[in-house]
Amino acid sequence: MDGWRNKGADLAAEDDGERMCAVGQRRWLRHRRRRTCATPTEPRNSSFLDRTLPSPTSRPLNNTASLQLVAMLRVGLRLATVGGCAAAAAAISKQSTNLKLDLDDATAFDVKESVRLAMAPGISAKCLATPQGKPCDPSKAEKPCKGLVTFLMLPDDMCEITYRVEGLTPGKHGFHIHEFADFSKGCLSAGPHYNPFGKNHGAPWDEDRHVGDLGNIEADESGVATGKLVDHLVKLHGPTSVIGRSVMVHADEDDLGKGDNSDPITRPPVNGKCSKVTGNAGARVACGEIVLA
């Protein structure tokens, strides 16, 4: 019995040994396969790019893919522009115009501005303005007020400000730069209009105005305001730079300092009674930090 038991034990051990051997062999084969199969099945000289990049006839890219692609193009453009390689910048720019993109209006504006700022020689910045200065909740049914504002310093030290804001009520809305990009209490914590020279509120063309007084933007019937303005006080450099401050869009029209100023002292200011402080532009509907582009 012992012999049989031993024989059985030996056979079992042999069997185990074979199993172990088979396991080891499989592992070895897997290891070898990993090493040897690193060579692609296609010939090595076939172009990797040909197989992975979309062909010119492929379907249009969606918003997310487009923004990623444009972000990469933007880096290339910036490098080419800063590096003084005009030919490369022109080539990339030309290719970017050939892209087949399927974009909504807001993303198209973002893409266009991204490429334009990357090509421009001057310092540039942008601001994504949203309710409470925080990303919009896409699950909410109502269309939030949000927009993109870009800044570009021109050769004559003027600042070109380009904007597209949607979700507004039709008509005019106060449009300012406020002192802080603090959104801990939503747009309310962004502070007053940026006013480094201690002036009164006014129109962009007034001498007595805050640096942050950009007047009004006007929304069309669909609630979209687009446009461009050039300002001589807004700077992206130096001691009065607006980088790190905030853009604010208001619910009401800015009276440009010419309205009711019967109670300019109360803190917080009472809307409708402090024209020389706030322009009586009402609630703060969208805001965001101005950051270098």
List residues with catalytic annotation. 176, 178, 193, 201, 210, 213, 250, 284
Region binding Zn ion by CB under 5 A among candidate stretches 84-92, 204-212, 238-246, 259-267: 204-212
Both tokens of 275, joined, read 């024209």
In the list 164, 201, 235, 245, the residue contacting Zn ion (rule: CB under 5 A) is 201
Contact between 271 and 282 (Cβ < 8 Å): yes
Q: How far apart are the first and last CA of the chain?
A: 86
Q: Which does 146 bind (CB under 5 to 8 A by kind): Cu ion, Zn ion, none?
A: none
Q: Which is nearer to Cu ion, 65 or 283 (CB)?
A: 283
Both tokens of 82, joined, read 């800063």
Residues 178-237 within binding reach of Cu ion (CB under 5 A): none
Q: Which does 248 bind (CB under 5 to 8 A by kind): Cu ion, Zn ion, none?
A: Cu ion
Q: Which is nearer to Cu ion, 73 or 187 (CB)?
A: 187
User: What is the nearest approach in angstroms of Cu ion to the Cβ of residue 97?
Assistant: 37
Contact between 130 and 286 (Cβ < 8 Å): yes
Number of residues that bind Zn ion (CB under 5 A): 4
In the list 126, 176, 209, 210, the residue contacting Cu ion (rule: CB under 5 A) is 176
For residue 193, state whether it binds Zn ion (rule: CB under 5 A): yes
Radius of gyration for the alpha carbons in the chain, expressed in angstroms and rounded: 31
For residue 113, state whether it binds Zn ion (rule: CB under 5 A): no
Cis, bond preceding 138 (omega within 30 deg of 0): no
Both tokens of 200, joined, read 């009164």
In the list 110, 113, 179, 213, the residue contacting Zn ion (rule: CB under 5 A) is 213
Contact between 110 and 134 (Cβ < 8 Å): no
DSSP category for residue 170: S
Q: Which of 153, 199, 195, 203 lies closest to 178, judged by CA?
A: 195
Q: Which is nearer to Cu ion, 67 or 247 (CB)?
A: 247
For residue 235, state whether it binds Zn ion (rule: CB under 5 A): no
In the list 128, 159, 219, 248, the residue contacting Cu ion (rule: CB under 5 A) is 248
Contact between 225 and 173 (Cβ < 8 Å): yes
- Interatomic CA distance for residues 222 and 185, integer angstroms: 29
For residue 210, state whether it binds Zn ion (rule: CB under 5 A): yes
User: What is the nearest approach in angstroms of Cu ion to the Cβ of residue 180?
Assistant: 12
For residue 126, state whether it binds Zn ion (rule: CB under 5 A): no
For residue 250, state whether it binds Zn ion (rule: CB under 5 A): no
**Residue that the structure tokens 């040897």 belong to:** 36
- Interatomic CA distance for residues 275 and 119, integer angstroms: 40
